[in-house]
Amino acid sequence: MAFRAKLADLDDDQAIAEIASGLFLKHIAARYGVAKQSLHERLKKHPAWRAAIEMQAETLVESATSEAMGLDRSATMPDIARARVKVDTAHKWAAARDSANWGQRSTVQVDAAITVHVVRVEPQAPAIDITPQIEEKP
């Protein structure tokens, strides 16, 4: 049976570097024999945590894309489909963790100008007298 280290033995800087290189938190947690959540709680306090997650996302996308782009003419349809799914999954994974860089971007720009013209209208006397005239019979 292999010796399993404890969380107290964890080198935070090394773990952050491993995450940045594309290693998943669950693999580091398994190596130390600790719960992934415990490891996450500890490492997310590290000053380089955010940068490591961003780098991890980039590394995973780059790795999947490199594999797909490296397929040669002898690649079968299942090989191509598998590579395509890996690239798609890597992008989705990256977008979920680093949406600022990998998420969908929607930009809405509204340019509106409102011009109000105020016209003051003074009541005027009618030009023609339109009041009914009643004639009295003598």
Lookup: tokens for 11: 């080198």
> Can you tell me whether residue 11 is helix, strand or coil?
coil
Secondary structure E strands in 2-121: none
Per-residue model confidence (pLDDT) at position 2: 47
User: Which residues of the chain are under the pLDDT cut of 70?
Assistant: 1-5, 125-134, 137-138
Rounded-to-integer distance, Cα 48 and Cα 100, Å: 17
Per-residue model confidence (pLDDT) at position 125: 64
pTM of the model: 0.63
Residue bearing tokens 């209208």: 121
Per-residue model confidence (pLDDT) at position 131: 63
Residues 6+ apart with CB under 8 A from 14: none
Domain boundaries, the chain: 1-47, 56-103
